[in-house]
Structure 1
Amino acid sequence: MSPDAVLQELVSTYGPCGHEDAIRDICLRELSALTDEVWVDAAGNAIALLRGDPGDTHAPPVRVMAHMDELSMVVKRVEPDGTLRLSPLGTMYPGNFGLGPVAILGRHETLTGVLTLGSEHTTKESQRIWETKPDQGDKALDWLHVYVFTGRTCAQLERAGVTAGTRVAVHRSKRDLIRFGDYIGSYFLDDRAAIAVLLATAQRLQDSPESYRGDIYLVFTTAEEVGANGGVYAARTLPDGITVAVEVGPTEQEYGTSVHGGPIVAYSDALTVYDKTVADGLMDAAKRQGLAPQPAVLGAFESDASHAKAIGTCPRAGLLCIPTLSTHGYEVIAAGAISDATDVLVSFLLSPGSSAT
């Protein structure tokens, strides 16, 4: 498949936290012919190994991580009328993805429902709706205000395997990539765009006449949005080395970053200070590719690598980001951003002169 087709397939495929199976299958399919070994670990991470030079005993392994899970919802309870109350899985609010169709991923059947607030044509008697109106209660729309209309009875939902704990995802009808000018827009570029970077990196490394020194592990992680469970497990169980997370990165004035600019290299985030040698190595790799990397000190941001570094399961860590407008919402990236991030990652992994190694 072409890179564009793979990205569309990734975006279209449901992958809530703890329900990443379909995304993992795509990763395994694409990696099987590009790497030396592919497996799934006990945490559900998909891992691909590219073996380095066996004669070079000084180069540390590099673990590159992109997460498979997406921002999603989980059923908190099934009401007697067959409607569903939800809790978020990850930092998101109803306004991030809007009201509309959702996929209810029951154990036996996937159903369609509609995330709804209710009618705007209501008075103070409908307090739940009334308090969200800007000219009335003026409260931000939150999860206690919305519910999923299923059109099913409780008995029908039970037969479909819909209970508390069932994952709910934004419906596939809202998952088409939109191309406009020099940009691409979609939900769930976090972290499907980063997965596309790792898959393209595997292809580039296979085709490269250059050799890489140490072993490279491409790790597609589970449950990053709810605590980076998969990434932390992989960092603990794979051979010690450098851990680099690939993510979408916020483009805001407070960080001095722009969606028009080159790849973002983070020097810190809300959880950790990334290793300067690794960050400098990523900056150097970008400059070798003729790009203008954007160094950043991020707040309200976490990654697989920063979680692992913060609790001591990896000795050195870095973060490479695709510049992204409206992270955790309807996300926008430059049309060439995935290719640029791939160029940087490949250069970083191949260069024996990298300051990170």
Structure 2
Amino acid sequence: MSIFHRPSSVLDSTEIIRQLVRIPGPPGQEEAVREAVARLVAQIGWESRVDAKGNLLIPLGPLGTEPRRARVVVTAHMDEIALMVSHVARDGSVRVVPQGGLHPWKWGEQPVQILVPGTEPLDAVLSLGCVHTNSPASVAHSARSGPLVW
């Protein structure tokens, strides 16, 4: 059964939101999110279209027929804050740079997925390096006196 149906309860709505936020959508790669939302609104019975900039537009009701009636526009981001791989080392470790104004200390260390066009996402772990060292080259060591960097 598709989750994309007219919500009949708060639980249905919560499940729809849960599924939508699980779809990867880094900047410039929002297609999967846009397609999922378009399928959802089609199942509800609403029409949608994509403009030249890639925005998904969903008009609800006639436009411009009642000039004194208030108009409301609801907007939302389809993309998410992400990291971009900047270097792949011989040992398989990768260097990343932020997209969307995030800082390393806000992410900490956690599971991530690396998106590679044409393949399934690759599961990985975001790490700031070994904390069991006093080496000045260690990210953890430098964090004692300054901001974290990847």
TM-score by length of 2: 0.78
Q: How does 1:150-165 map to 2 (within 5 A)?
A: none
2:36 corresponds in structure 1 to 26
* Unaligned 5+ runs, structure 2: 4-11
Q: Aligned match of 2:62 in 40, 52, 55?
A: 52
Identity within the alignment, %: 32
RMSD: 2.3
Mapped contact 1:35–1:49 kept (Cα < 8 A):
no
| Aligned-partner residue type, residue 67 of structure 1 | H
Matches within 5 A, 1:86-235: 86-109=96-119, 110-133=121-144, 138-143=145-150
Whole-Å separation in 1 of the counterparts to 2:20 and 2:67? 37
Deviations 1:273-324 (A, max 9, x none): xxxxxxxxxxxxxxxxxxxxxxxxxxxxxxxxxxxxxxxxxxxxxxxxxxxx
Contact 1:74–1:88, Cα closer than 8 Å, also in 2 = yes
Tell me which of 9, 33, 40 is aligned to 2:50. Answer: 40
Are 1:39 and 1:47, in contact at CA under 8 Å, matched by a contact in 2?
A: yes
- Secondary structure at the aligned position of 1:32 is classed as helix
Instruction: Give me the whole-angstrom Cα distance separating, in 1, the residues matched to 2:134 and 2:64.
Output: 73
Structure 2 Cα separation of the partners of residues 41 and 53 of structure 1: 17
- Select the structure that is richer in strand: 1
Bigger share in helix: 1
Give me the whole-angstrom Cα distance separating, in 2, the residues matched to 1:54 and 1:89: 38
Unaligned runs of 5+ in 1: 144-357
TM-score, normalising length: structure 1: 0.36
Measure the CA separation in 1 of the matches of 2:46 and 2:135.
64
Q: Secondary structure at the match of 2:74?
A: strand
Q: Is the 8 A contact 2:81 2:100 kept in 1?
A: yes
Give the equivalent residue in structure 2 for 1:288.
Answer: none
Pair 1:67 & 2:77 matched: yes
| AA in 1 matched with 2:55 | N
Structure with the greater relative contact order (CA < 8 A, sep ≥ 6): 1 or 2?
1
- How many residue pairs get aligned? The number is 139
Q: Which residue of 1 aligns with 2:9?
A: none
One-letter code of the match for 2:53?
A: A
Question: SS at 2:133's partner residue?
Answer: coil
